Amino acid sequence: MTKYNVAELLESDKFLQEVTVKGWVRTFRANRFIALNDGSTINNIQCVVDFENTDESILKRITTGAALAVTGTLAESLGKGQKVEIQVTKIEILGDSNPDEYPIQPKKHSFEFLRENAHLRIRTNTFSAVMRVRSALSFAVHKYFTENGFYNFHAPIITGSDAEGAGEMFTVTTIDPNNPPKDEHGNVDTSKDFFGKTTNLTVSGQLEAETYAMALGKVYTFGPTFRAENSNTTRHLAEFWMIEPEVAFNNLDDNMDLAEDFIKYVISYVLENCNDDLVFLDQRLLQEEKTKPANQRSEMSLLEKLHFVVDNNFKRVSYTEAIDILRNSKPNKKKKFQFVIQEWGADLQSEHERYLVEKHFKCPVILFDYPANIKAFYMRLNEDGKTVRAMDVLFPGIGEIVGGSQREERLDVLKQKVEELGIDEKELWWYMDTRKFGTAVHSGFGLGFERLVLFTTGMGNIRDVIPYPRTPQNAEF
């Protein structure tokens, strides 16, 4: 007797052999047909029970969600939609599932309901497909960088610096809030805290990655990042995973090339390796789109969108050009935008980004050369003295998926910027050192992994593409 998983059996032509497979019951019809799934594929294997020769007590326990070991003969299936089935000779109930209590019944559940049961939602077709695609994307990320000469660098998760200067950080402390140590002025004495100073969860591994790029040349981090911003949207999480490559001697054009090549590679990888899951997700989206008014439906199916991204060049547009397009756009003139664009210098909102991508260019867009005062301190100042070498990659349905830049490598310019923004240079002494010793042009970007998964799976809410979402007022599980 040989053990197989469902994916192997469905591809197998070892007919008439005895096989054993373990999995969970999805459905049990007519006291005869078990649809068994073990997570190896979205597809179930049909197990045909000889109910006349099976104990009534066993039949009763074959309920949705129960764990079984099924032994039988692999046979060509006469049923529609499957090549093989198992003619069962033995069933072992490994774990019962009380049908009166099990929340995941074989019917359509709302995503809200499933979020409340995030520990069980992975047992549905949609979530198992999403999470298999997520896993494949994660593998493709490491594969791409490894094949292209990058080193994987593990940025620290607890940090003493605020990389983005945004201040939206979670503090890490062991101080008892009810009995904190105080200094002579009566303030909380953070020098008595675990690390002897205030520390936070990182918002980005970039600053540390820059120091490594200055020796290893090409590095990337892929780890969890944390933002305490109170954004209750379908695109924001308080804990998300970010992929951040950093490359010595790359300028902004090289950086844009890298981002485009990388995104196309990982999506191609999934198209080649996750066909069954993508076909399922494509159909799911199609059904969802049908519930929308005709003028709000997407023009492309999920698979068409993925192929479109892989097969077409991203449009590269300067911020200044984008502002001209937006200022002259219908929704701006008719004041349909919530934030009407008045003049150069305005920060672009998601509605503007989506207008550019979905209505104007109708393809992924890379915006570059943003006004210095709406971007982070580390971005390289252009000759015009008012724009920086920043780039954002904007995607249909998502908005910003990548944020990056060429970094300011000139010590004097960086020092001046830090001073202007009132950042304590002493806090960044180690970062400044990279500009003192062998400074060089370098660039990098951050790609929000969940936004990539959102796009690739066609899901509508970022909370449904991470196993256990952390959002304001929500850290269950």
The residue ranges that bind ligand 4AD (CB under 6 A) are: 163-164, 204, 206, 227, 236-237, 240, 242, 244, 400-404, 444-448, 450-451
Q: CB-based contacts of 212: which residues, under 8 Å, 6+ apart?
A: 151, 153, 219, 246
- Distance, in Å, from the CA atom of 302 to the CA atom of 280, rounded to the nearest integer, reads 10
Cα-based distances in Å from 140 to 69, 130, 135, 449: 33, 15, 9, 12
Rounded to a whole number of angstroms, the minimum distance from the CB of residue 390 to ligand 4AD is 9
Q: Exposed, middle or buried, 29 (CB in 10 Å: 0-12/13-18/19+)?
A: exposed
Q: Rounded to whole angstroms, how far apart are CA atoms 185 and 218?
A: 47
Q: 46 or 202: whose CB is closer to ligand 4AD?
A: 202
CB of 359 closer than 8 Å to CB of 384: no
**Nearest distance from residue 246's CB to ligand 4AD, in Å?**
7
CB of 359 to ligand 4AD, least distance (A): 21
Alpha-carbon distance values, 403 to 308, 381, 471 (Å): 22, 16, 21
172 or 402: whose CB is closer to ligand 4AD? 402
Please state the closest distance from residue 247 (CB atom) to ligand 4AD, in A. Answer: 11
Nearer Cβ to ligand 4AD, position 47 or 372?
372
Q: Which amino acid is at 122?
A: I
Is the Cβ of residue 223 or residue 448 nearer to ligand 4AD in the bound state? 448
> Residue 236 or residue 352: which is nearer to ligand 4AD going by CB?
236
Shorter beta-carbon distance to ligand 4AD: residue 244 or 369:
244
Distance CA 35, CA 24 (A): 8
CB closer to ligand 4AD, 237 vs 278 = 237
| Least distance between ligand 4AD and beta carbon 382 (Å) | 17
The residues, ordered by sequence, that sit 6+ positions from 38 with a Cβ below 8 Å of its Cβ are: 5, 6, 21, 22, 23, 24
Minimum separation from the CB atom of position 414 to ligand 4AD (A): 15
Question: Closest distance between ligand 4AD and the C-beta of residue 220, in Å?
Answer: 10
Would you call 388 exposed, middle or buried from its count of C-beta atoms within 10 A (0-12, 13-18, 19+)? buried
CA atoms within 13 A on the CB side of 420: 11
Comparison of 193 and 244: residue with beta carbon closer to ligand 4AD: 244
DSSP β-bridge partners for residue 316: 366
Work out how close the CB of 303 gets to ligand 4AD at its nearest, in angstroms, rounded to a whole number: 23
- Sorted by sequence, the CB contacts under 8 Å of residue 77 that are 6+ apart come out as 46, 83, 84, 85
